[in-house]
Amino acid sequence: MNTHPRIVSTGTERISLPLATAFRTSRGSTQTTENRLVRVTDEDGRIGRGAGAPLAYYGETTASAGEALPVLLEAVERIGDPHAQQAIAADLAARAPEEAAARAAVSIAVHDLAARQTGEPLYRRLGLDPERAPPTSYTIGIADPGEMAARTRHVREAGYPILKLKLGTDRDRARVSAVREAAPEATLRVDANGDWTPQEAIENAEWLAEANVEFLEQPVPATDLEGLCRVSESVPFPVAADESCVTAEDVPRVADAVDIVVVKLMKCGGVRAARRHIATAHAHGLDVMIGCMIESDASIAGACHLAPLCEYVDLDGSLLLASDPCSGVEFRGGQVDLEAVAAGTGARENDEW
Ligand SMILES: [Mg+2]
C-alpha cells in the first residue's frame, strides 16, 4: 500500500554552466556547457531535483534531451509514486532508450524526492556506508605544462590529494613531468580519452610509470578492445575503460581488456542502471570508478551517494564551473561529505537561500 505523497507536477529547464577556465581534453575545448535541470514535486510541495548533461560524443544534445524530457516526465507523473523506482526505470528506458542523460536527470530527481519523503539521505535508502566513499580526484584539463603545474599547485592547496590529468597531445610527457614536479606527493591518474594508438600507449607507459601514475584511463579509441587488451598486458599499472564501457551490457566485452571500469549516471541513464553497471563490473572482478561529465551539482549530488560502492571516485565536474544554480554534496579535502546530507541527494537551488 502506498502511503507516500504522489508526484503532482514536474518541470525542466535548460541551464547554462560557464566554466571557470576553458576545459580541454583530446576531444576538444569547452568554455560553457548546457545541462537540463529537472524538478519533480509531490502533493506536499516537496521537490526532488536532478540534472542531465547530454554529450554529443554519445549522440545526445541539450535539444534531444529537451525533446525526450516531457515524454519521460509525463510517464513519471502517470506512475505518481516516487518509490516505484523499478517501474519508473523500466518506463523511462522504454520511452527514451537513446537519451541516457535525460533519463539520468529524471532518475536522480525521483530518487531525491523519494529519499526526502522518508527524511533520509539517499545513501541510507540504498543501505550504504558513507565512510566507505573514497576521496574524489580533481581533473586538470589539457593546457601548457606551466599552466597545468600552476593549476596543480592551486588544487593541492585546496586540499585535493588525487589529480586526474587529461592527456592526448604531442607534449604529454612534458605535461606529466610539470604536474609531477608541482605535486610530488599527489596521487596521479591520467585519461587520454582514446587519443593514443596501442603502441603509443605502451611507449608512454615508460614515463607514466616513472611519474608513478596510479592508473591509465581510456588510452585507445573506444572500439579498439584488442588494443586496450594489448596495452593492459604491457603496462605496469591498471588500465580503465570509460568510453569503451558505456553501460552494464558492455562489461563482459571489456572484462578481459581492463582492470577498472568508469561508471557514469549520464552514460548508463540513472541510479538503478548505475548500480547494475557497478555490480556487473564487480562480478567480473573489475574495480569501479564513479565519474561524471561537466555537470551541475544537482546531478553530481546523486552520483556521490553511489561512491561507497566504488573503489575510485571522480566526481569533480561541478568544481570546474564558474557558477552553478545548484549546490550539492560538499567535498572536504576531496572527501565526499555524505554525512552532511540531511535528506535526499542534498541537491538544492542556490536562489532559495
Ligand atoms: Mg574519462
The total number of structural domains in the chain stands at: 2
What is the Cα–Cα distance from 147 to 174, expressed in whole angstroms?
12
Q: For position 318, what pLDDT does the model report?
A: 87
Could you say which residues of the chain have pLDDT below 50? 353
Tell me, in angstroms, the distance from the centre of ligand 1 to residue 249's CA.
Answer: 18
Tell me, in angstroms, the distance from the centre of ligand 1 to residue 311's CA.
Answer: 16
CATH number of the domain residue 327 falls in: 3.20.20.120
The domain in which residue 25 lies consists of 8-119
Q: For position 9, what pLDDT does the model report?
A: 98
What's the pTM?
Answer: 0.97
- Can you list the positions of beta strands (E) in 195-315? 213-217, 239-241, 260-264, 287-291, 312-313
Tell me, in angstroms, the distance from the centre of ligand 1 to residue 263's CA.
Answer: 10
- 84, part of any domain: yes
Q: For position 105, what pLDDT does the model report?
A: 98
Q: For position 353, what pLDDT does the model report?
A: 41
Tell me, in angstroms, the distance from the centre of ligand 1 to residue 351's CA.
Answer: 32
Tell me, in angstroms, the distance from the centre of ligand 1 to residue 192's CA.
Answer: 8
- Looking at the structure, tell me whether residues 158 and 287 fall in a common domain: yes
Q: How do strand 348-349 and strand 187-191 relate by DSSP bridges?
A: unpaired
Tell me, in angstroms, the distance from the centre of ligand 1 to residue 215's CA.
Answer: 12
Helices of type H across 235-270: 251-254, 265-268
Tell me, in angstroms, the distance from the centre of ligand 1 to residue 217's CA.
Answer: 6
| Contact in structure between 278 and 310 (CB atoms under 8 Å) | yes
CATH number of the domain residue 40 falls in: 3.30.390.10
Task: For residue 258, give the amino acid letter.
Answer: V
- Looking at the structure, tell me whether residues 160 and 36 fall in a common domain: no
- Looking at the structure, tell me whether residues 283 and 180 fall in a common domain: yes
Tell me, in angstroms, the distance from the centre of ligand 1 to residue 243's CA.
Answer: 7
Query: With the C-alpha atoms ordered 265, 269, 275, 280, is the resulting torsion angle positive or negative?
Result: negative
Tell me, in angstroms, the distance from the centre of ligand 1 to residue 1's CA.
Answer: 43
Q: For position 352, what pLDDT does the model report?
A: 53
- Looking at the structure, tell me whether residues 198 and 161 fall in a common domain: yes
Tell me, in angstroms, the distance from the centre of ligand 1 to residue 122's CA.
Answer: 25
- 3, part of any domain: no
Tell me, in angstroms, the distance from the centre of ligand 1 to residue 302's CA.
Answer: 19
Tell me, in angstroms, the distance from the centre of ligand 1 to residue 216's CA.
Answer: 10
Tell me, in angstroms, the distance from the centre of ligand 1 to residue 240's CA.
Answer: 9
Of the residues 64, 99, 119, the one at which a domain ends: 119
Q: For position 1, what pLDDT does the model report?
A: 55
- Looking at the structure, tell me whether residues 92 and 164 fall in a common domain: no
